[in-house]
Structure 1
């Protein structure tokens, strides 16, 4: 894998600055001018790489996906498919998943799927990619006899529905919800027929 070009580096710097502005002021208030001000560059330089704010948002969705991919990067020492799957599920139901990307920016991006077919298609690609990555880990564990599921694609979809629903609801609460996350995680392990002891607090 070769070194990144100056163009790639500059685009990433701009998208990162755009994310930081959106996180601080809200996606609706973020602008090319504000990104340029934060980077202390001329707005024309931002527009050299991104013609419109929508182009920036489109790239921001890729930025989201890249950050979420860290969920699927187990420790180098983990080579066993079962242990790798356990680590992924632990990550999905942890603060790590919830803090990889600002919820306000994420849901602001999501709201745009109802106004832009381009963003809607790209957002769907993001979610499909994450599901495919989980399905791959499930398939590897199934091949080793570590889990008992008939359809890994359906299982992957079920897990994400549970994860996304949980974080949408729990984001409405300022309380510590680790006990609920443990219960949701335990439910996933049981549905997969995965032999693993998960400590879940009763509610």
Structure 2
């Protein structure tokens, strides 16, 4: 694998600065000038790598996707079912919830109603997450540790549960309640898979 180019490194630095600025001030207030101020550089440097704020937001959504996909990367020689168990424990946990700030995530989400290109990008993000889970389910089917009629539909159902849980939990400040609600949703996901639920 080759080393990242200076362009790739600089673009990632800019995207991380946008993320930090959006987390502090909201995405709608995160101008190119504010991103440049966060990096202590001239705004022209940002515009050299990203021609518009929309281009920068596209890169931010890719950054969010890559953060989420990391949770599926299980470095292990364990069985497919054990790897799936770890993925489920991860996505139904605070580990998943702390990958990306809720306010940045939902700020990006609101843009899908105004910009069809951002809507398409966000759809790709969600589809990629579902595809990753589908691949884990298919590996378990091939291994003989799961029996599912349609792993793709099953992955979609699990994500419907997960997204509903996180949307609701954004409004629940109490840690114990958040844990209890997430635990209930996690049990439903295990039931859909016909798997025995185990505490993480």
TM-score, structure 1 as length reference: 0.94
Matches for 1:46-85 after TM superposition, within 5 Å: 46-74=46-74, 76-85=75-84
In the other structure, the counterpart of 2:29 is 29
Give the secondary-structure state (helix, strand or coil) at the position aligned to 2:3: coil
| C-alpha distance in structure 2 between counterparts of 1:191 and 1:160, whole Å | 12
Structure 1 residues 80-135: Cα deviation after superposition (integer angstroms, max 9, x where no partner): 10000000000110001111001111111111011111101111011111100000
| Superposed counterparts of 1:167-182, under 5 Å | 167-176=166-175, 177-182=178-183
8 Å CA contact 1:94–1:181 kept in 2: the answer is: yes
Q: Check conservation: 1:131, 1:156, Cα contact below 8 A.
A: yes
Question: How many residues of Structure 1 are paired with residues of Structure 2 in the alignment?
Answer: 198
5+ unaligned residues in a row in structure 1: which ranges?
A: none
CA RMSD across the alignment: 1.2
8 Å Cα contact 1:93/1:185 also seen in 2: yes
Is structure 2 residue 13 aligned with structure 1 residue 13?
yes
CA–CA distance in structure 1, aligned partners of residues 5 and 38 of structure 2 = 23
Indicate the residue corresponding to 1:102 in structure 2.
101
Does residue 125 of structure 2 align to residue 126 of structure 1? Answer: yes
1:193 counterpart residue number: 194
Of stretches 143-152 and 160-169 in structure 1, the one that deviates more from structure 2 is 143-152
Q: Aligned to 1:141, what secondary structure does the other structure show?
A: helix
> Structure 1 residue 180: deviation in Å?
1.7
CA distance in 2, matches of 1:21, 1:197: 40
Paired residue for 2:90?
Answer: 91
Distance in 2 (alpha carbons) for counterparts of 1:146 and 1:179: 28
Q: Secondary structure at the residue paired with 1:55?
A: helix
Q: Distance in 2 between matches of 1:26 and 1:169?
A: 20
| Shift, 1:70, TM fit | 1.4
Partner of residue 39, structure 2 = 39
Q: Secondary structure at the residue paired with 2:78?
A: coil
Give structure 1 regions of 4+ aligned residues with deviation exceeding 4 angstroms. Answer: none
